[in-house]
Amino acid sequence: MAELIKFTIDNQDCLAEKGLYIVEAAAKNNIYIPTLCNIPGVKPRGACRICSVRVNGKLMSACTTPIADNMKIENNTPEIVEMRKIILETLFVSGNHFCPACERSGSCDLQALAYRFGILNQRFPYQFPSKSIDASHPKIMKDHDRCILCKRCIRGIKTEDGKSFFAYKKRGQTLEISIDTELTSQLTDELAIKAANLCPVGAILLKERGYNIPIGKRQYDLTPIGNEIDHLEK
Partner 1 sequence: MSPLINIFKKKSSTSNVQSIIDKYNKDQTRLMDILIDIQAEIGYISNESASLIANQLKISKVDVEQTLSFYHFFSQKETGKYTIYLNDSAVAEMMGRNEVAKAFEEAAGSKFGEVTKDGKIGLFNTSCIGMNDQEPAAIINGVIFTRITPYRAKEIIQDMKNGKAVNEMGLQSFGDGNNSSNYIQSMVSNNIRRKGPVIFSDYNLGKSIKKIVNMKPTDVIRDVKASNVRGRGGAGFPTGMKWEFCRNAAGDQRYIFCNADEGEPGTFKDRVILTELPKLIFEGMTVAGYAVGATEGILYLRYEYKYLQKYLEQVLEELKTANLLGTNIGGKNGFNFNIRIQFGAGAYVCGEESALIESAEGKRGEPRDRPPFPVEQGYLNKPTVVNNVETLCSVVKIITEGPNWYKSFGTKDSAGTKVLSISGDCMNPGIYEIEWGFNINDILKMVGANDVQAVQVGGPSGALIAPTEFDRILCYSDLSTGGSIIIFNSKRDLLKNVVLNFMDFFIEESCGSCVPCRCLTVLFREKLLKILKGNGVMQDIDDMISWGPTMLSNRCGLGHTAANPILTSIKNFRPLYESKIQQNKLFDSGFNLQEAIAECCEATGRQPIL
Residues that bind ligand SF4 (CB under 6 A): 147-153, 177, 198-201, 203-204
Q: Shortest Cβ distance from residue 176 to partner 1 (Å)? A: 9
Residue with smaller CB distance to ligand SF4, 32 or 165: 165
Closer to ligand SF4 by Cβ: residue 5 or 149: 149
| Minimal distance, residue 130 CB to ligand SF4, in Å | 17
For residue 71, how many other CB atoms are within 10 A of its CB?
20
| Binding status of residue 166 toward partner 1 by CB under 8 A | yes
Q: Is 66 in the site for partner 1 (CB under 8 A)?
A: yes
Question: What is d(CA 11, CA 32) in angstroms, rounded to the nearest whole number?
Answer: 15
* Closest alpha carbon to 9 in 234, 18, 28, 90: 28
Residues in region 141-160 near partner 1 by CB under 8 A: 148-149, 151, 159
Q: In what order do the strands lie in the sheet with 204-206?
A: 133-134, 140-143, 204-206
Q: Any idea what DSSP says for residue 185?
A: G
Binding string, residues 183-212; x marks residues near partner 1 by CB under 8 A: x-----------------------------
57 lies in the binding site for partner 1 (CB under 8 A): no
- Residue 42 contact among ligand SF4, partner 1, none, beta carbon within 5 to 8 Å by kind: none
Which H helix or E strand runs over 12? strand 12-17
Say if CB 104 and CB 53 are below 8 A apart: no
The most distant pair of C-alpha atoms in the chain lies apart, rounded to whole Å, by 54
* Number of chain residues interacting with partner 1 (CB under 8 A): 50
Cα–Cα dist 111/200, whole Å: 9
Please, what is the minimum distance in Å from the beta carbon of residue 182 to partner 1? 5
CA distance 219 to 109: 10
Binding site for partner 1 (CB under 8 A): 44-50, 52, 59, 61, 64-66, 79, 82-83, 86-87, 90-91, 93-94, 123-125, 127, 148-149, 151, 159, 161, 163-175, 178-183
